[in-house]
Every structure is written in C-alpha cells, then in structure tokens.
Structure 1
Amino acid sequence: MKSIREPDALELDIPGEDPGASAENRAATKFETRAPASRTVDLTFAVIVTFFPPIAFAGALYLHFQGWYRIGFIDIALMLMMWFLSVTGIEVGYHRLFSHCSYKAHPAVRRTLAALGSMGFQGPVIWWASIHRKHHRTSDKPGDPHSMYLFGTGPWALFRGFIHSHVGWIWTGSSIRFRGLERYVSDLYRDEDIFRVHMHYFRWLAAGFIVPAIIGGVVRGSWQGAFLGFLWGGFVRVFFMNHLTYWCTNTVTHSRLGRRAYHTSDRSSNSLLLAIPTLGQTFHNNHHAFPSSAIMGHEWWQIDVGTWILRALERLGWVWDVRVPDERMMAKKRIVERNEEHRT
C-alpha cells in the first residue's frame, strides 16, 4: 500500500473541488439539463426511503406472527447478501473511491462499485460524493449538510439535531437539490463511466429489489417466494442498512460517545459496534484524521472489512495506489492524554 502525501494527512484536500465552478459551467449545465430527478421525484423518494423500510419490516414481522409465512434462512440470506453487495458499493465505492479518491481502480471495478452503491437507496453516486465532500469541508460547523449541532448544543437543540442528522437532512432543499454542490465533484462530472451510472441511478436502484425477488421466487418456486425476496432483500435490507447503521454514523460517530484516537477539528469518534455492518466506516475519528486514507481501522482489533476487500482486489491487480498514513503521520495526530479519550 502507498503512504499518503503529507498535505493529504492534514485535512483537507477535496478531490475535484473547483471554487470557481458555477451552474453555468459545462459540467454543471450537463448535469442540470439531464438530472435524474426533479424536486417532486426527490421528495417522493425521501418519503419512500424514510417510511417504507420500517413499515415493510413491521409488516414482515406481522405476517410472520400471523402465520402467513415463517421467517427462514432464505429470507435472512437474501437480506444479508443484498446488504453486503450494496454496503460494499457504498463504503468501498461511493465513500473511499469516489468521495476521497483514496485508491485507483480498473474501470470495470469503478463501474461495478458505483452500480452496487446505487442499489443501497442512498442516492446517485455524484450526489452522494458531493454531500460527503461538503461534510468534510464543514464537519460539525455551519454548512455541514447533516450536522447534529445545527440548532445548538442544549438538550432540546441536540434532540432536534439528532433527528436532522439521522434522516431530516434528506428532506431539506439544500440537500435534495444539487445546486451549489457541483463545485465539489468536477472530477466526477468528467468521468463518463461514473456519470453514466449516475444518470441510470433508478435502474440500478430497481435492480436492488428485482434481483432478490427473482432469486427468492426461483429458490422457493412460487410468487410468494418472489414477494418475500422483494421484501427481505429489498425494503427490510434498506431498513437495517440505512436506519440502523449508515444514518447512525452521522449521529453516533459525531457525538463523542466513542473513542477519539486523534486530534481533529470536529467531534468525530470511533464506534466499534457499528463498524462491522458499515464495513469499517464508523472508525470515524480515524477517517476524519486522515480523510484521504483508504483504511479505516488502525489497530489490530479494529475490524475493517472494507480494507479486507481492497486488499483482495489489490492482490488481483484490480486496484492500486491504495493510500495509507504512515506511523509518523499517525503519531503526529494521536491523542496521548488519557483524559482526552472518550469511550462508550
């Protein structure tokens, strides 16, 4: 693996950021005229992703206890399979590759990761990267798209901030619409492969529901099996993936409830509990200390499945220039005073 350059370790070099970019530049105009969603469609999808998954999970439990079917191995297997594929696309693709350019990959790998991430129901790849890059630029400060400190630090303000940080931010106009964020992703505009996946977002999103439905129908040999595959591999998977893991990253790992290993300018902390279902993203203090690093787990006990996947791809020769901080960089930022460490 390749050690990252010193400027990258000191926060923050936003890949592709162009302060002079405007909605009139060529890339932005291309996006605005071919955007995959209007405000009405965006709001519709905000309603769906917020309410449908928990309702679907409650419905699945209701049908189980009413005796319509019994939750079995196939249901759980389909949910876990689709969860792993979509989270790999989000964490290894959307996050480490497209948002932070922390490694280089073969074009087929880039397209595959962008497509898998699109199945995660977290938005198109360029939109996701723009939001995340802005988050790093303004982390826990005014302008952070999903900060829980938007309303202040009092008890009621933090409760409102928690709701906003977890899910409320996707309902705000500044997050739903793309205007003003295009300057963070000029590099992704120029990538024809990724732009194409971005524009076909709804197709890949639909595939995330259709694929488990087909598998469930074939394995069970019935329309009921197809419905259960759609339910568990689709909406129940989205419920666990987004509501109980990824959206909690915005709150749990920015609340200083976990351990802080490094000095950063924000409130980021590490959460071991959520690290496995997010493939390592919740070693968040590590990440905010070294945002252009491809690895999240810095200790032997920090389980970072995303890095395992990258190392496997690297051995196959499909990814390269995987950037990691060296010991000198980590020592420079490491917190050594025990009273500055916050543990759950």
Structure 2
Amino acid sequence: MTATLDGPAAKPAKGPKPILDGKRSAGVQFSVYFGVVAPLVALAAAVPFAWGWGLTWIDVGLFVFFYAFTGLGITVSFHRYFTHGSFKAKPWMRVLLAIAGSMAVQGPLITWVADHRRHHAFSDKEGDPHSPWLFGTSPVALAKGFWHAHMGWLFERDVSNVERFAPDLIKDPAMRRVDKLFPVWTLATFVLPAVLGGLITWSWWGALTAFFWAGLVRVCVLHHVTWSVNSICHMIGERPFGARDRSANFWPLAIFSFGESWHNLHHADPTSARHGVKRGQIDISARTIWIFEKLGWAYNVRWPTPTRLQKLTVAEH
C-alpha cells in the first residue's frame, strides 16, 4: 500500500516519507477498543438508567461543562490550532489546549494530528484513513464506507507516519510530554466529573451518576459527533465552495460539533479559523477563538476575508 501511494519502497530517500509507520501494538489496540466500546455501552444503558432515578441537574451541568471543554479541545485545539495552524497561542495556552483535546479521548495529540493531516493530503482518495468513498458507490459499498468513515477505521492497526505528517509536534518537547501523558488525561476526564459530582452532592451516589453521565456518556456522545463529521459530512449536505473532495455542510450537527459540520468551507480553505462563514451558520469554535484573540491569548488568527471567500465560491461555479 505504501509503495502504491508513495512510489517504490526501495528508494525512500528520494521521495516523501511513507504515509504509514507500522502497526499498533496489541496493548494500544486494546485501549482503542476499550475507549470506543465502553462509552458506547454506557450510552446504550443511559435510557433505562435515567428512568426516574439516575439523572440530576448536577449531572446535566457537569455533562455540558465537560462536553464543551473537551469538545472545544478537539475543534479549537487539535483541529484548527495544532493541525491547521489557524492561529498562534501563548505557550501556556498551547499546553492547556493540548490537554483539553487529549481529554476528549480521541487519541494522543500527535497521532490525532498526523491522522487528520493525512486525511487532508489524500481526502476521499486512496490513503485517506477515513473516507466513506473508498469502496464504491453501490448501496452496499456506501453502507460499508459509512461504517468505515464513522468508526470502523479506528479498529485498523495502521499508524500514520508522524515524521511525515506531524514533524513540528514531535520536535516540540512540551507537546511530546502532553502526548506521552495521554493515559493520565484519559483517567482525568472520567475521574474529575465523579469527584465534582461527589463533592457537590456530598455523596458517593452523586459521584457515580456524574461519572456515568459527565464521564462515560459525554465521551461517547462527543465521539460520535466528531466521527459524524468524518462520515456524514463527506456524504450528504450542501457544497457552496470549491473543494477537491466530497466535503459538505450538514447543518443539524453545527451546534453539537461547535461549527465543525460547516465542513465544505473547511476543505476549501483548511487554515481558516472560521468554518461557518455564511449568514446564520453558527460556529462556536470560531467565536471561542475570537474571545481568545480579544483576551490576548491567541494572535495571528487567519480569519476569512470577503475576497478569499468570493474566489472559493467562484471556483465551484
């Protein structure tokens, strides 16, 4: 596969680095399965658990807080900042952003960035780790493609080559440290809601329900919202801007994904700090970056301009 995408494997020095870098170890692969399946089981149990006795307003409040913190950690931090360089951040802010994204339990920082940059390099073509269009266009092929793009690709053991796709991050000692401590951030994302729930209610039951709702269920919901951008937003929706793939805008996900589902503009202009650029397109991530800029925590923000948007629109028509 590597030789097909990058040229003969016998002459690696004369071409780009391979897109893959071996396979995940058995231990890492087990952690992937556990990180995906355990929250999914919790979500399946959510309805009977909540029936009359398992959900309080404290759980709801903690769910919303941690969903926003870790969700923006993916959209503002891992995606727009670390992957695409949509803005620059103060050193302390850079570390906080990396931790927030890590607590979404979608993989370590450097791995996440490498996978997403690889996605853009080969979007909807061979080499894209999670395109829904790799198996054909028949109903069966599209069903298979949807599963693969949504979560099936996570169970494959191929590892994106970080030296090729994330060389800036592997050279950064602070980011390597945050990346290495991913198990700590994973533990924290489940323990902190439980601790807060227990302290607020002053009960073990409050700790348990907060762990369930603001921990397991929250992680599962955020997982599937994020993965829906990979799957749904490359299959259906509007395409007002010129892009070299099948990325589309899917408005029902806009609020839950903090603006990531305005996906067509993102693929047409990946470094733009704002994805929802048309009237009425709510982009909470862009507003968050704007607040960071006003506070002096972010700078050199790459906001879209009318001229740039006009060129992108004309490109399609």
Q: TM-score, normalised by structure 1?
A: 0.83
1:116 corresponds in structure 2 to: 100
1:62-120 deviation digits (Å, cap 9, x = unpaired): 2333x5x2422111111111100001111100001100011100011110011011110
Higher relative contact order, chain-length normalized (CA < 8 Å, sep 6+) = 1
Deviation at 1:336, TM superposition (A): 8.9
Q: Distance in 2 between matches of 1:313 and 1:301?
A: 22
Q: Distance in 2 between matches of 1:81 and 1:19?
A: 46
Q: Distance in 1 between matches of 2:193 and 2:281?
A: 31
Structure 2: tracts of 5 or more residues without a match: 1-13
State yes or no: 1:274 paired with 2:253: yes
1:14 corresponds in structure 2 to: none
> Which among 250, 255, 262 is matched to residue 230 of structure 2?
250
Cα gap change, 1:40/1:230 in structure 2, threshold over 3 Å: closer, same or farther? same
SS of residue in 2 equivalent to 1:130: helix
Q: Distance in 1 between matches of 2:49 and 2:264?
A: 41
Alignment RMSD (CA, Å):
2.1
Q: How many residues align?
A: 303
SS of residue in 2 equivalent to 1:334: helix
Q: TM-score, normalised by structure 2?
A: 0.90
2:151 corresponds in structure 1 to: 167
1:207 corresponds in structure 2 to: 188
Cα gap change, 1:77/1:137 in structure 2, threshold over 3 Å: closer, same or farther? same
Q: Distance in 1 between matches of 2:87 and 2:170?
A: 18
Deviation at 1:328, TM superposition (A): 2.0
Deviation at 1:193, TM superposition (A): 1.2
1:94 corresponds in structure 2 to: 78
Contact 1:19 1:183 in 2 (8 A): no
1:197-229 deviation digits (Å, cap 9, x = unpaired): 011111011111111000010111111111111
State yes or no: 1:298 paired with 2:298: no
2:9 corresponds in structure 1 to: none
Contact 1:46 1:170 in 2 (8 A): yes
1:40 corresponds in structure 2 to: 26
1:194 corresponds in structure 2 to: 175
> Deviation above 6 Å: which 4+ runs of structure 1?
none
Cα gap change, 1:209/1:112 in structure 2, threshold over 3 Å: closer, same or farther? same
Cα gap change, 1:137/1:20 in structure 2, threshold over 3 Å: closer, same or farther? closer
Q: Distance in 2 between matches of 1:151 and 1:22?
A: 23
1:319 corresponds in structure 2 to: 298
Contact 1:121 1:205 in 2 (8 A): yes
Q: Report % sequence identity.
A: 38
Cα gap change, 1:84/1:266 in structure 2, threshold over 3 Å: closer, same or farther? same
Deviation at 1:300, TM superposition (A): 2.8
Q: Distance in 2 between matches of 1:106 and 1:183?
A: 26
Q: Distance in 2 between matches of 1:52 and 1:134?
A: 27
> Which among 216, 240, 250 is matched to residue 221 of structure 2?
240
Deviation at 1:294, TM superposition (A): 1.1
Q: Between 188-197 and 158-167, report the one with greater CA deviation.
A: 188-197
Q: Between 37-46 and 100-109, report the one with greater CA deviation.
A: 37-46
